[in-house]
Each structure stands twice: as C-alpha cells, then as structure tokens.
Amino acid sequence: MKVLVTGAKGMLGQDLCPILEDEGYEVIETDIDSLDITNIKNVEDVLKSNMPDFVIHCAAYTNVDKAEEDTENAEKINIQGTQNIAQVCKKLNITLVYISTDYVFDGTKTGKYLPSDKPNPQSIYGKTKLGGEKAVMQCEKYYITRTSWLYGHHGKNFVETMISLKDKDLKVVDDQIGCPTWTVELSNGIVKLIEEQAPYGIYHVCGSGYTSWYGFAKKIFELCNLKVNLSPCTTDEFPRPAKRPKNSIMENNKICRNWETALKEYIELRSE
C-alpha cells in the first residue's frame, strides 16, 4: 500500500513516516518544497503521478497565536490548501486522513467531547481547521483525526519549552484542561484506523486521561527528576492572543494509551 504524507518535515510527519515504513507501507514524503498544498496544479500533478492509496494530510499553518493577525495565510493553508487536497483525493478515489484539533471546540462542555459534539471554535486557528474538516467531508473516503496538546522529538512543543525553562520561576495555567498526546501515539492511532479499515468519519486520537497545563508541567519535571519552582496560575494571569478552550478533554475510545504512560516513554527516549 502506498501512502503520501503532506507536511512530512513537521513534528508529526517526522515520527509518522518511519512508523508507516515499519508497518510495510511505501511512503512518499512531501513538504512545501515538493508539494505546496495551496497550489492546486501542484497538488494534482503530485497526486496523479504517485497515485497513493492514502494521503495523510499533516501540512498546516500551526502557529495558533500568530494566526489571529495572519488570518489570510492561515485560511489559505488550512482551508484552501485542505480543499485542494480533498478535491483531488475525491477525483482520484484516494482515502484522505486529515489531522484536526481540539481547538474546534469552545470548551464550555462539562465532561468529554465526543466526535459527534458540535464544534464552535473560538480562535482563527480553530476556525480554519474546522474549515478544513468541512472540505474533507466532501470526500467519500475520509478519516478526520482530532488530536490535542501534541508533543514530539522533532518540533517546538510544550514539553521541550518547559524543560528549557527549568532554571526559571515558572507559573503555568491550571484552569485549562485537555489531553496531552505524543506524536508517536497519534501516528500509531492513525495506522490502527487504516489497518482496521475503521468506518470513515471523525475520530478523537489523543492521550487517554486528562490534566491541566500545570499538571502536565509538574509531571514533566517529576519524570525528568528536576526540582523546579513551579506554581499554578489562571488564564487571566497569562493572556494570549488566541482564546483557548477551558475544557478540551476528548473521548478517544482507547485509541491511544494514557497520557502519563506515553510521556514517561517520551522522556526516557529523550534522555538516551
């Protein structure tokens, strides 16, 4: 089976591609230099000449705060770019896997978000990712995999930021809760969905359990055996340009392991 990955040089793509290869897939890695998703002709040419069985669409505009002012670019990449990918996948009968986000929700629900819950994004990034979801739904054969609080060995992320700040006095937001997810867990979850030929539709592929950003930071330092001056704060004390959901816990139907188990493994691998 042949899989084409967009955004393969990103944090997720760099873990996903070797995992797919280990599973026996022929992997075509693309990124903006070889497949600019905003260029429909480029998308058509690359997909037609490779004719993959699956496209796993990881490419995105991912700077959540910058998107608030750089809206045009965020829309161009996340909505128009995804529309291009979806349109060509539909035409060529290719199954499309799209990576979406917990930021499509407004965070006002009590309890876990289900894939069937109504999205109501509060940020430009969330709105553009939801626009991408709508474009993907025009295909007959698609998986929308919503993930959250992603970290991995190949990109800028919360775990690495916390570790880099270990010598400072740190205040971390304690009134936003969600599901930390290692890129390897998400990759394995995606492989599981396509291997099992799960019904097409929306899935939540994130770590099981939940915590706050403060709880996440505390666990990171505990697993790294670092003594850090860490204290909780509120969202109001740490204002950011983009509004985040207070609650973004998603029901994952056991697709991924517990977030703490995954984080422990990530930290162990990191210190090797």
Ligand X SMILES: NC(=O)c1ccc[n+]([C@@H]2O[C@H](COP(=O)([O-])OP(=O)(O)OC[C@H]3O[C@@H](n4cnc5c(N)ncnc54)[C@H](OP(=O)(O)O)[C@@H]3O)[C@@H](O)[C@H]2O)c1
220/161 Cα distance (integer angstroms): 11
Q: Is 119 in the site for ligand X (CB under 6 A)?
A: no
Helices 40-50, 82-92: inter-axial angle, 10-degree rounding: 40
6 binds ligand X (CB under 6 A): yes
Between the two ends of the chain, the Cα-to-Cα distance in Å is 33
Taking CB under 6 A as the criterion, which residues in 210-229 touch ligand X? none
- Total residues interacting with ligand X, rule: CB under 6 A: 27
In degrees and rounded to multiples of 5, residue 185 shows phi and psi of -65, -45
Q: Is 71 in the site for ligand X (CB under 6 A)?
A: no
125 is annotated as an active-site residue: yes
Stretch that binds ligand X, among 11-19, 167-175, 224-232, 239-247 (CB under 6 A): 11-19
The catalytic residue among 25, 113, 125, 151 is 125
List own/partner pairs for 163-170 with CB under 8 A and 24 or more apart.
163/220, 163/224, 163/226, 166/221, 166/224, 166/226, 166/228, 168/229, 169/229, 169/231, 170/217, 170/228, 170/229, 170/230, 170/231
Nearest-approach distance from CB 76 to ligand X, in angstroms: 8
Could you say whether residue 59 binds ligand X (CB under 6 A)? yes
CA distance to 116, 153, 172, per residue, from 14 (Å): 30, 9, 28
Query: Can residue 150 be called a binding residue for ligand X (CB under 6 A)?
Result: yes
DSSP character string of 97-139: EEEEEGGGS-S--SSPBPTTSPP---SHHHHHHHHHHHHHTTS
State which residue, 95 or 245, has the beta carbon closest to ligand X.
Answer: 245
**Residue in the shown chain whose Cβ atom is closest to ligand X:** 10
Q: Which residue number, 24 or 241, has a Cβ lying nearer to ligand X?
A: 241
- Asked whether position 173 contacts ligand X by CB under 6 A, the answer is no
Q: Which of 231, 269 has the CB closer to ligand X? A: 269
In the set 3, 4, 11, 190, which binds ligand X (CB under 6 A)?
11
Q: Write down the least CB distance from residue 212 to ligand X, Å.
A: 16
Stretch that binds ligand X, among 36-44, 107-115, 165-173, 223-231 (CB under 6 A): 36-44
Verify binding: residue 62, ligand X, rule CB under 6 A: yes
Closer to ligand X by Cβ: residue 43 or 169: 43
- The catalytic site residues sit at 125
The binding site for ligand X (CB under 6 A) comprises: 6-7, 9-13, 31-32, 35-38, 58-60, 62, 77, 81, 99, 101, 129, 147-150, 155
